[in-house]
Structure 1
Amino acid sequence: MATAVETLGKLERRLTISFPLTDVRTEVEKRLKKQAKTAKAPGFRPGKVPIKMVAAQYGYQIESDVLNDRVGRAFNQAANENQLRVAGFPKIEPKDAADEGMLSFEATFEVFPEFTISELSGVDIETVQAEVSDAEIDKTIDILRKQRVHYHAKGVAGEHGDGGEPVAAAGDRVTVDFTGAIDGVEFPGGKADDYQFVLGEGRMLPEFEAATLGLKVGESKTFPLAFPEDYHGKDVAGKTADFTITLKQLEWAHLPEVDAEFAKSLGIEDGDATKMRADIKVNLEREVAGRVKARNKEAVMDALVAATEMDVPQVMIEQDSERLAEQTRADMSQRGMDVSSMPFPKELFATKAERRVRLGLILSQLVGENNLQATSEQVKAQIEDFAQSYEDPKEVLKYYYSDRNRLGEIEALVLEENVVNYVLGKAKVTTKAVAFDELMGNNAQA
């Protein structure tokens, strides 16, 4: 039996569960007898071990299992009878019983919140859109050319020219020897031979690059270099060193021409530059569409959170914080980082976890109230859309349909898209045009 439910807070509840001690003992004896039929012990045939020996070996675990089962069943029955929507798992603690023949436990738990989603017609949402113009295609071609750059000795005539005057300039690849000293003493990491870098890429400190500019092969230069206070090398951070640099090799960058050979290198079999540009445009438009969809989905989710007031079960936040901590640990480990001694306190993930839980509750209610579940046709269409960018679309379909968890991931994506479309169809929506570079986070110029 269970007592009346006590309200401890907005979502926290408590009830006491009691049942006869004799019920537990009867069940324990029943399970011990069943265990005795297969129990083994030295000097006894299987199934002939004395019940006292079986009880000594298995009694504690069996009694624990029986208590867990009885408490769990009693709690679930009480929750159903009181129409409680329990969030997470209850905290169960033993309690002194008023009757010696009874066992009592106190269950403290949280319930799901009751909330109302605001009238969506009064919700303002700003979405974005972006276009792919010839300028974006040109930028992408420039990036692809830079990825295929090759270098020639500067000042030496060749098939592509000599690269101009043989002095180090921005864009050139240089090979240098250098030595650094602080107060006349060389320091670890301050010396290198045949060190190679491209001027203007920012790999070296500004003073280092500035000193290299204008040098010819064989020339040396000594210059002061002040390390920033936040420099990664703690031994030299905030200090000034004297460096001597010698230019050993100077090469200029030759970018491939945008011709048939270049187009072929990008998979255009006949080398048609027009087809190449069309292919690049299709890929850029697919990327833009994906990023626009992600931005607009985030705008919808932000609007739903802002428009819905609710109390979030703390137990669900804690559980999701733990999941996020473990995911972060696993991700870092897969990248080759040693995380064995790194702390991952769940408190660091609490804010993100609360938003995730809050959104999950909102989406669940929206889906249930408006029948927005993912259909099999929508799931198949989503997978087929993914498959378009792969050489063998059939293998992509097989990959997802052969694993229920993978299929569940697609269903979740479709469900979210259904929610987004539903909300956008109800809310007050304005659309803002954003520049390609802004949408892409300037990655297009990387």
Structure 2
Amino acid sequence: MAVVVETLEKLERKMLLSMPVALIQSEVTARLKKLARTVKMDGFRPGKVPMNVVAQRYGYNVQYEVMNDKVGEAFANAANEAKLRVAGQPKISEKDGAPEGALTFEAVFEVYPEVKMGDLTVAEVEKVTTEVSDAAIDKTLDILRKQRRTFSQRPQDAAAEDGDRLTVDFEGKIDGETFEGGKAENFQFILGDGQMLKEFEEASRGMKTGESKTFPLAFPADYHGKDVAGKTADFMVTVKKIEAAHLPEVNEALAKSLGIEDASVEGLRADIKKNLDREVKFRLLARNKTAVMDALVASAELDLPNASVQAEMQRLLEGARADLKQRGIKDADKVTIPEDVFRPQAERRVRLGLVVAELVRANSLQATMDQLKAHIQELAASYEKPAEVERWYLSDNTRLAEVEAIVLENNVTDFVLSKAKVSEKAVSFDDLMAQN
């Protein structure tokens, strides 16, 4: 008998399921008999419990399990026969008025939409490019040198300047009261590194050992400490020690300390460039991928299955709670977070997932094993023991699936860029690296 599917609204469908009562009863009896062979009850030896006793104790639960299994199986068979791609779980309810000897159920569910892809040849995508210049290598060298700097105490009458390490006592008050986190002794910071707020650094600059100074400090409105955000405090700072920084020379000794195989200045710069090229490639790919995905979403037409959106909203909600818990928020599981906060993000994710899946299917863009291995090798290249990292990825299906998703997105990105109207835009190395 052909499956009759009724369209309710957009992606919502309804169909009726029918099955013989005898089928249910037969399965219930079979499961109870199987259960009777192992069930333990006081007063009976194992396997010797009478069937009527087993049925009385476990009949309801077994009946419930069988109904769920058989109805689920009937729905899956009917959906397959009708060639339906079901989104989410169906809502199934028993209907009254079934023929004698039969049970009838109504299943209401959603199906995945037809994705109508736009003409990618008219889609406009901005592709960014960046070059790793000598200046970028020099800047990275400076960072590496700062990470290995040493300090020596400056004379008593020396004025603090950028790059110095200061040891200070400070106390801040708001309305005459010291606030939490506003007082410290023997606190160290590097002047000019941006560790402290601008007013604090400006007040400390030029001070000498043993000198004290009071000054107002206005906390930004978005300051992480909510109790003081947007307020102005009166601070007093006393400089206890000033130390000058000494950066290591760029020479073979520095290259050797960094574990460079070719322990020369040329080898050091070449190694830095290789690492920067790899990082720039990944960042450019991520940024261009975002531009491609935006173009895909804009060019496609489809309805969104509410079941998929709701499931994605729930995943985002659970992720937000996990993040709060990781940050040490007490009772993070009980924090009220409105679901609708995540709706725009959930809808975009579902829309993008459906569009990408259709593009992959229609153009055979699935990730190949060779591509997976090549990507893993590239990821592992920045580690000390690449072979171990490669084995770590290849030995776990979950990790391999994550890599597969990335490679698949890269295939989609390359495909769209080969079709769309692409305009290139050069961005500076600093701007690219500053982006999260």
Q: TM-score, normalised by structure 2?
A: 0.90
Distance in 1, Cα, partners of 2:407 & 2:228: 53
Distance in 2, Cα, partners of 1:373 & 1:127: 23
Residue of structure 2 aligned with 1:213, choices 205, 211, 215: 205
- Contact 1:218 1:246 (C-alpha < 8 Å) held by counterparts: yes
Task: Give the CA deviation at 1:249.
Answer: 1.0
1:402 aligns with 2:390: no
Q: 1:35-79, CA deviations, whole angstroms, 9 ceiling, x for partnerless residues?
A: 222222111122211112101221111101111122112212322
Distance in 2, Cα, partners of 1:425 & 1:229: 46
Partner in structure 1 of residue 290 of structure 2: 298
From the superposition, tell whether residues 250 and 266 of structure 1 become closer, same or farther in structure 2 (CA, over 3 Å).
Answer: same
Partner in structure 2 of residue 162 of structure 1: none
- Contact 1:229 1:237 (C-alpha < 8 Å) held by counterparts: yes
Q: 1:254-280, CA deviations, whole angstroms, 9 ceiling, x for partnerless residues?
A: 222222222222223564111111111
From the superposition, tell whether residues 142 and 442 of structure 1 become closer, same or farther in structure 2 (CA, over 3 Å).
Answer: farther
Q: 1:149-200, CA deviations, whole angstroms, 9 ceiling, x for partnerless residues?
A: 22211137xxxxxxxx601223322222234445555555443322222222
From the superposition, tell whether residues 428 and 214 of structure 1 become closer, same or farther in structure 2 (CA, over 3 Å).
Answer: closer
- Contact 1:260 1:270 (C-alpha < 8 Å) held by counterparts: no
Distance in 2, Cα, partners of 1:189 & 1:113: 55
- Contact 1:6 1:13 (C-alpha < 8 Å) held by counterparts: yes
Partner in structure 1 of residue 190 of structure 2: 198
Distance in 2, Cα, partners of 1:214 & 1:296: 46
Task: Give the CA deviation at 1:315.
Answer: 0.4
Pairs within 5 Å for 1:93-242: 93-99=93-99, 101-155=101-155, 166-182=158-174, 184=176, 186-227=178-219, 240-242=232-234
Task: Give the CA deviation at 1:214.
Answer: 2.5
Pairs within 5 Å for 1:1-400: 4-99=4-99, 101-155=101-155, 166-182=158-174, 184=176, 186-227=178-219, 240-268=232-260, 271-330=263-322, 333=325, 338=330, 339-400=332-393
Distance in 1, Cα, partners of 2:286 & 2:167: 44
- Between 1:188-197 and 1:130-139, the stretch displaced more is 188-197
- Contact 1:175 1:195 (C-alpha < 8 Å) held by counterparts: yes
What letter corresponds to residue 113 of structure 2 in structure 1?
Answer: P
- Contact 1:32 1:51 (C-alpha < 8 Å) held by counterparts: yes
- Contact 2:321 2:333 (C-alpha < 8 Å) held by counterparts: no
Distance in 2, Cα, partners of 1:442 & 1:23: 62
Q: TM-score, normalised by structure 1?
A: 0.88
- Contact 2:169 2:184 (C-alpha < 8 Å) held by counterparts: yes
Distance in 2, Cα, partners of 1:231 & 1:410: 37
From the superposition, tell whether residues 170 and 442 of structure 1 become closer, same or farther in structure 2 (CA, over 3 Å).
Answer: farther
Q: 1:294-350, CA deviations, whole angstroms, 9 ceiling, x for partnerless residues?
A: 122222111111100100111011112222333444455456665344345543332
Task: Give the CA deviation at 1:5.
Answer: 2.0
| Structure 1: gaps of 5 or more residues | 157-164
1:429 aligns with 2:422: yes
- Contact 1:2 1:15 (C-alpha < 8 Å) held by counterparts: no
DSSP 3-state at the match of 1:90:
strand
Distance in 2, Cα, partners of 1:223 & 1:345: 43
From the superposition, tell whether residues 332 and 265 of structure 1 become closer, same or farther in structure 2 (CA, over 3 Å).
Answer: farther
What letter corresponds to residue 405 of structure 1 in structure 2?
Answer: T
| Structure 2: gaps of 5 or more residues | none
Residue of structure 2 aligned with 1:416, choices 402, 409, 414: 409
Distance in 2, Cα, partners of 1:91 & 1:183: 61
Distance in 1, Cα, partners of 2:85 & 2:285: 34
Task: Give the CA deviation at 1:408.
Answer: 2.1
- Between 1:335-344 and 1:25-34, the stretch displaced more is 335-344
- Contact 2:88 2:308 (C-alpha < 8 Å) held by counterparts: yes
What letter corresponds to residue 294 of structure 2 in structure 1?
Answer: D
- Contact 2:3 2:81 (C-alpha < 8 Å) held by counterparts: no
- Contact 1:218 1:248 (C-alpha < 8 Å) held by counterparts: yes
DSSP 3-state at the match of 1:440:
helix
Q: Percent identity?
A: 57
RMSD of aligned Cα (Å)? 2.6
What letter corresponds to residue 165 of structure 2 in structure 1?
Answer: R
From the superposition, tell whether residues 191 and 89 of structure 1 become closer, same or farther in structure 2 (CA, over 3 Å).
Answer: closer
DSSP 3-state at the match of 1:372:
coil
Distance in 2, Cα, partners of 1:442 & 1:79: 46
DSSP 3-state at the match of 1:108:
strand
Distance in 1, Cα, partners of 2:263 & 2:145: 15
